[in-house]
């Protein structure tokens, strides 16, 4: 559970602030939360539009004893935790879209941005940043988003309390982070698979080096997504990039 808690009416990005605190020695469990972000960021250098009074934006400092190559497992851990927290709060229609999107009936309600500072074989810190769409509706978001947006209020027809939501999600992250510390990725893999909507589905994978389509089959022991590309027999391992589900 949080060791230190910082709240900002406005900040550039809670991920940026958490990284500054981590570099200055902040312990694991330090939490930064903001009402608004002026430079909120998403994966792949995208912007995360972060107006005040509406959504949840927070970042946690973690200091896991893992090799840098496994840092992406923390994104999966956090996604599982967010999915479980929302499910426990009675939200229906949830799915995790590999690696970092939480969907409600196929629309994105939350995203995770994991950023790491590491030496070759040692992680100094990992920042796990979470954005959850809470108030307002899909019509308030810019057009042309990669995945159509959802908000908790609109999806459930009631008004959520952001502080309660934060507390529930942070408790779930602390719980799964502990299981991960104790059991490694093996403790995450099965429950994650049960919540994900990806395995067995046709997908398009977009990497910096190009795109391909195929069938997502499994998560391997390290958390890589295994995809059998069209026309191939052996699965490729995918750990970064963008995944789109294709209609059957
Ligand atoms: C994505 O889906 O691309 C990830 C979005 C992550 C957004 C959150 S909001 C809190 C934290 N601070 C940031 O600048 N980004 C993350």
Query: 231: CA distance to ligand 1 center in Å?
Result: 36
Domain ranges of the chain: 4-195, 202-245
- Please report the pLDDT score of residue 244 as a whole number: 80
- Residue 46 CB neighbours (<10 A): 14
Residue-by-residue pLDDT tens, the chain, 248 positions:
677 999 999 999 999 999 999 999 999 999 999 999 999 999 888 899 999 999 999 999 999 988 888 888 999 999 999 999 999 999 999 999 888 899 999 999 999 999 999 888 889 999 999 999 999 999 999 888 888 999 999 999 999 999 999 999 999 999 999 999 999 999 999 999 888 877 888 999 988 888 999 999 988 888 889 999 999 999 999 877 778 878 65
Atom of ligand 1 nearest to the CA of 44: 3
| Pair 99, 203: CB distance under 8 Å | no
Sign of the torsion formed by the C-alpha atoms of 11, 17, 20 and 26:
positive
Query: Does ligand 1 come within 6 angstroms of the Cβ of 40?
Result: yes
Residue 43: which of 239, 195, 226 has the closest Cα?
A: 239
Residues 6+ apart with CB under 8 A from 99: 72, 75, 76, 79, 112, 225, 239, 243
- 85/82 Cα distance (integer angstroms): 5
Residue 225: which of 99, 141, 81, 70 has the closest Cα?
A: 99
Query: Does ligand 1 come within 6 angstroms of the Cβ of 196?
Result: no
| Pair 29, 61: CB distance under 8 Å | yes
Query: Does ligand 1 come within 6 angstroms of the Cβ of 99?
Result: no
Burial code of 90-117, b = ≥16 C-beta within 10 A, e = fewer? Answer: ebeebbbbbbbbbbbeebbbbbbbbbbe
Partner residues linked to 47 by β-bridges: 41
Query: 131: CA distance to ligand 1 center in Å?
Result: 5
Atom of ligand 1 nearest to the CA of 43: 3
**Strands (E) located in the chain:** 4-11, 30-37, 56-62, 94-97, 101-104, 107-119, 122-132, 202-207, 210-219, 225-229, 236-238, 242-245
- Please report the pLDDT score of residue 13 as a whole number: 98
Query: 75: CA distance to ligand 1 center in Å?
Result: 12
Residue whose tokens read 């093996």: 186
Coil, strand, or helix at residue 61?
strand
Query: Does ligand 1 come within 6 angstroms of the Cβ of 30?
Result: no
The CA-atom distances, in angstroms, between 132 and each of 17, 19, 57, 78, 152 are 18, 20, 7, 12, 8
ipTM of the complex model: 0.99
- Please report the pLDDT score of residue 248 as a whole number: 57
| Architecture of the CATH domain 202-245 | Roll (2.30)
Which of 3.10.580.10, 3.30.420.10, 3.40.50.10490, 3.30.930.10 would CATH assign to domain 4-195?
Answer: 3.30.930.10
Cis peptide preceding 99, ω within 30 of 0 = yes
Query: Does ligand 1 come within 6 angstroms of the Cβ of 108?
Result: no
């Amino acid at each position: 559970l949080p060791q230190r808690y910082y709240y900002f009416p406005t900040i550039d990005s809670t991920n940026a602030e958490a990284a500054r605190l981590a570099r200055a020695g902040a312990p694991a469990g330090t939490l930064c939360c903001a009402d608004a972000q002026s430079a909120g960021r998403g994966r792949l250098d995208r912007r995360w539009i972060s107006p005040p009074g509406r959504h949840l934006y927070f970042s946690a400092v973690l200091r896991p004893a893992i090799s840098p190559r496994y840092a992406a497992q923390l994104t999966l851990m956090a996604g599982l935790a967010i999915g479980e927290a929302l499910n426990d709060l009675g939200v229906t229609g949830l799915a995790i879209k590999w690696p970092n999107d939480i969907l409600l009936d196929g629309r994105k309600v939350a995203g995770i941005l994991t950023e790491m500072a590491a030496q070759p074989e040692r992680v100094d810190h990992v920042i796990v940043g979470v954005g959850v769409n809470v108030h307002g509706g899909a019509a308030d978001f810019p057009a042309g988003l990669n995945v159509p947006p959802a908000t908790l209020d609109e999806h459930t027809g009631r008004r959520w309390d952001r502080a309660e939501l934060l507390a529930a999600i942070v408790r779930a992250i602390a719980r799964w982070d502990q299981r991960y510390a104790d059991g490694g990725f093996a403790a995450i893999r099965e429950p994650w698979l049960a919540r994900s909507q990806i395995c067995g589905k046709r997908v398009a994978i977009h990497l910096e080096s190009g795109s391909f389509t195929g069938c997502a089959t499994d998560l391997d022991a390290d958390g890589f997504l295994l995809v059998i590309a069209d026309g191939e027999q052996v699965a490729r391992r995918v750990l970064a990039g963008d995944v789109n589900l294709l209609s059957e």
